[in-house]
Structure 1
Amino acid sequence: MSLFHAVLWLDHHEAKLFQFDAEHIEAERIRSHTHHTKQHGSAVRSEHEFFADVCDAMKGVTEVLVTGSRTAQTDFRHYLEKHRASQVGQVVGYETVDHPSDKQLVAMARQYFVKHDRMAGVPTPT
């Protein structure tokens, strides 16, 4: 099931994507790739593979709020702009948060999207 809104929480080791509407929540967890090599740039390559998996999970979602550490958000934004420009428009905002529970994260995202949708002129469902 693909839902209209989603919240993504990420750091450099894992990501959690919650797609939701008023009644439903669909959760997905994405873990980073760990390559233990001495090859130059393997950490960058692993990060790119991780962010590619996150972008693949976001396919079909219209609006995504990206949350997590500021560093992870910045790295993800850079990856998105450079490698997945077609998905940049899916991200409607970035919010720095620590480690909220899954329920807290979805509740925060629901509040965010109510405000976001009102500012965009989208009627709020009742």
Structure 2
Amino acid sequence: MSLFHAVLWLDHHEAKLLQFDAEHVEAERIKSHSHHTKQRASAVRTEHEFFGEVCDAMAGIAEVLVTGSKTAQADFRHYLEKHRPALVKQVVGYEAVDHPSDKQLVALARQYFLKHDRMNGVPTPM
């Protein structure tokens, strides 16, 4: 099922992508495949692979709100801008949050998108 809005919560080890509409929520979890080595390049490569998987999961979603720690968001934003510039326009905002439940994430995103859509002149179904 491909839904119009989604909220992405991520840190450097896992991500949750929740697509939703008024009645449905579809959740996908993505875990980092950490390779414990002493080489920094290996850690960067692993992070890029992880962010690449997150980007693949975002394919086809029109609007995504990215949440999580500020550091994870900044690293993800940098990855998007450098490696996946076509996806940058799908991200409508960034919000720092700790570790909310799926229900809390969807509630936050619904409020965000209601405000976002109104500011852009998009009628919101009630």
Q: Flag structure 2 segments of 5+ consecutive residues without an equivalent.
A: none
| CA distance in 2: counterparts of 1:40 and 1:66, whole angstroms | 26
Q: State TM-score, norm by structure 1.
A: 0.97
Q: Is the aligned partner of 1:116 residue 2:107?
A: no
Q: Deviations over 1:20-66 (max 9, x none)?
A: 00000000000001113344410000000000000000001000000
**Code of the aligned partner of 1:44:** V
Q: State the SS of the aligned residue for 1:34.
A: coil
The residue that corresponds to 2:36 in the other structure is 36
Q: State the SS of the aligned residue for 1:6.
A: strand
- Percent of aligned positions that are identical: 82
Q: State TM-score, norm by structure 2.
A: 0.97
Moved over 4 A (4+): none
The residue that corresponds to 1:68 in the other structure is 68
Taking the TM superposition and a 5 Å limit, the aligned residue runs for 1:1-126 are 1-126=1-126
Q: State the SS of the aligned residue for 1:72.
A: helix
Q: Flag structure 1 segments of 5+ consecutive residues without an equivalent.
A: none
**Code of the aligned partner of 1:53:** E
